[in-house]
Amino acid sequence: MYKSGFIGVMGRPNVGKSTLLNRIIGEKITIVTDKPQTTRNQIRLIYTTDEAQMIFLDTPGIQSPKNKLGDYMLGVSKNTLDDVDVVLFLVEPGPVAGPMDTYIFDILKDVQTPVVLILNKIDTLSEEEKDALLKEYEELGKFEKIIALSALQGDGVEELLDYLVEQLPEGPMYFPDDMITDQPEKTIAAEMIREKAMLHLREEIPHGIAVEVVLMKHREDKPLTDIEATIFVEKKSHKGMVIGKEGAMLKKIGQDARKDIEALIGTQVNLKLWVKIADKWRNEERRLKEFGYK
């Protein structure tokens, strides 16, 4: 009996959702930084074995929205709960049921889908600390199951996968067995460029960055892909920071992004980047749609 199904992944920003999914898939598909709003769209990641196919829906970290982009991201996270077979709610070590977790509990209380609590980052805890946290979460009585793991180290991930196979219904293989995401290469390339910009730039810039790949063409005569992309910022002062002195910052962003994109698509990449200003784009419906948030 072959099993398949959809698994929603949610939690506060920076609890390790993307790290866990990249660990499961075995490839870097979703971007990872230590800054909020890293994931902005729902991304489907596909994990296929001989006995099951799991389609994970990675969602933006849940937080109180501050602009129309934030409203959109919160809507994406909530809508993910509608038609999945299992919800994974990731938390990290810290106070149990803090304000934002309580907010998420309120979102989940009317959900009929089984909710599995994932205590991530146990590599940062002693056994006593881990056991105490697990006991507190168990006493809440809100979860179908609780699993402790380290997405970074891989500990506990196999236990999670085994449990998910048990929970999924009998079903078909929705995607080819060699497919690991439903996102087009252009979208992933744009996200990888945005990740490098977020990692290299100062704190006030990253939230206002968007990336649009305007050209992606595989050459027929050699294993080379030409990519042209525009990095959009909200302020004139930010444009200079992204470019850097004599173009040094933009070059650094491009070099690091090119390595990840080459690993993904399996060819050398000729990457050209430009920087443009899109004033207050996070509050403009037209810009949100242009940048793929629709």
Give pLDDT tens digits for 168-223: 999 999 888 888 887 788 888 888 898 888 888 866 565 678 898 999 999 988 88
Contact 48, 26 (CB under 8 A): no
User: Is the pLDDT assigned to residue 154 strictly greater than 90?
Assistant: yes
Neighbours of 273 (CB within 10 A): 21
Do 122 and 44 sit in the same domain of this protein?
yes
Give pLDDT tens digits for 212-231: 899 999 998 888 999 999 99
- What does the alpha-carbon distance between residue 234 and residue 254 come to, in Å, rounded to a whole number? 20
CATH number for the domain spanning 208: value is 3.30.300.20
Q: Say what the pLDDT of residue 133 is.
A: 94
Contact 3, 79 (CB under 8 A): no
Residue whose tokens read 């991530």: 120
User: Is the pLDDT assigned to residue 18 strictly greater than 90?
Assistant: no
Give pLDDT tens digits for 106-128: 777 777 888 999 999 999 999 99
Most confidently predicted of 81-90, 186-195, 248-257: 248-257
Mean pLDDT of the chain: 83
Q: Is 231 contained in some domain?
A: yes
Do 118 and 159 sit in the same domain of this protein?
yes
- What does the alpha-carbon distance between residue 145 and residue 163 come to, in Å, rounded to a whole number? 9
Neighbours of 223 (CB within 10 A): 11
Which two three-digit tokens encode residue 257?
A: 């992004």
Q: Is 177 contained in some domain?
A: no
Do 14 and 143 sit in the same domain of this protein?
yes
Do 150 and 207 sit in the same domain of this protein?
no
Longest dimension (CA), the chain: 63
Q: Which has the higher per-residue pLDDT, 26 or 224?
A: 224
Radius of gyration of the CA atoms of the chain, in A: 20
The β-bridge relationship of strands 43-48 and 52-58 is antiparallel
Residue 232, domain extent: 185-290
For the segment 229-253, the average pLDDT, to the nearest whole number, is 91
Give pLDDT tens digits for 29-42: 654 444 444 444 55
Domain final residue, candidates 136, 167, 198: 167
Q: Is 83 contained in some domain?
A: yes
User: Is the pLDDT assigned to residue 62 strictly greater than 60?
Assistant: no
Phi (first) and psi of residue 195, to 5 degrees: -60, -45
Domain final residue, candidates 110, 136, 167: 167
- What does the alpha-carbon distance between residue 186 and residue 57 come to, in Å, rounded to a whole number? 19
Domain final residue, candidates 132, 167, 202: 167
Q: Is 278 contained in some domain?
A: yes
Do 26 and 128 sit in the same domain of this protein?
yes
Closest CA to 70 of 153, 138, 13, 134: 13
